[in-house]
Amino acid sequence: MAQAPVQLDATARSRVGKGAARHARREGSIPAVIYGANKPPLPISVDYNTLWKQILKGHFTSTVFEIKVGNDMHRVIARDVQLDPVRDTPLHADFLRIAEDGMIRIQVPVKFVNDLLSPGLKRGGVLNIVRHEVEVFCPYDHIPPFFEIDLTGTQIGTSIHISSVSLPEGVSPTIRDRDFTIATIAGRLKDEEPAESATTAAAAPAAGKAAAAPAGKGAAPAGKAAAPAAAKPAGKK
């Protein structure tokens, strides 16, 4: 389903740098930049409240925007937003121009379903997620919200590759030279208790041998001491 672009108004910034960015924030705006499509970067300022509402809606970096700067309209997609490490509020935003062919490069999250129908997971296996997102080329107006992977029938040792994922028309992975792994069903590690029991069992015979050795050594001197004692009376007769 095609996405309707979100309309935003922005103002071009004549200056760049930390000082200009701080000045824009003091004026109630968020500094941002529009780049890409083989055109020079365009520094802009967007109203703080307007941009913050769009971020709070979610899926900010997969939303298509039409930003009006003066008399020019720029169709873009949000690529990144820098947040304050303490207050978690926006400090800066990056927007990527959409090329004339309408194709963009974007990370799409992966969603796993039917884990209860996986024999491997039922036997105690673990779902090892190698990639939580898959980077793809896709039309800007048909961005998949997620890729769904069905775990039905998966066994321990199963590897799920990109080739097993049903991609929408016009969507292709950016990695094309190999069938890369997205997730595996791994076996659970053995409990440590049996290993400890085996160690204790192996140590028991060794302890028995160590205990018997001193007893044997002690018996030998007793025997030697008894022999001379019996020979003395025989010599006096």
* Tokens coding 58: 């979610």
Over its length of 237 residues, how does the chain's per-residue pLDDT go in tens digits? Answer: 456 788 999 999 887 888 888 888 988 999 999 998 888 999 999 999 999 999 998 888 888 899 999 999 999 998 889 998 998 889 999 999 998 888 888 889 999 999 999 999 999 999 999 999 999 999 888 888 899 999 999 999 999 999 999 999 999 999 999 999 999 999 876 544 444 444 444 555 555 555 444 544 444 444 444 444 444 454 444
Those residues with Cβ within 8 angstroms of residue 105's Cβ, 6 or more apart along the chain or in another chain: 135, 136, 137, 174
User: What residues contact 83, with CB distance under 8 A and at least 6 apart?
Assistant: 89, 90, 91
**Given the DSSP bridges, would you call strands 103-113 and 147-150 parallel, antiparallel or unpaired?**
parallel
CATH code for the part of the protein at 6-100: 2.40.240.10
Burial class (CB in 10 A: 0-12, 13-18, 19+), 194: exposed
Fold of the domain built from segment(s) 104-186? RNA Polymerase Alpha Subunit; Chain A, domain 2 (2.170.120)
pTM above 0.85, yes or no: no
CA 149-152-158 angle, to 5 degrees, is: 80
Strands annotated E in 13-132: 29-36, 39-47, 64-69, 72-83, 90-97, 103-113, 126-129
Q: How far is the C-alpha of 127 from the C-alpha of 197, rounded, in Å?
A: 29
Helices (H) and strands (E) in the chain, counts: 4, 13
Residue with structure tokens 């018996």?
Answer: 219
Domain locations in the chain? Answer: 6-100, 104-186
Residue 29 tokens read as 């705006």
Strands in 133-139's sheet, in edge-to-edge order, are: 147-150, 103-113, 133-139, 172-173
Mapping DSSP to helix (H, G, I), strand (E, B) and coil, where does residue 180 land?
Answer: coil
Dihedral pair phi/psi, residue 210, rounded to 5° = -65, -35
Helices (H), 74-155: 119-122
Residue % of the chain over a pLDDT of 70: 78
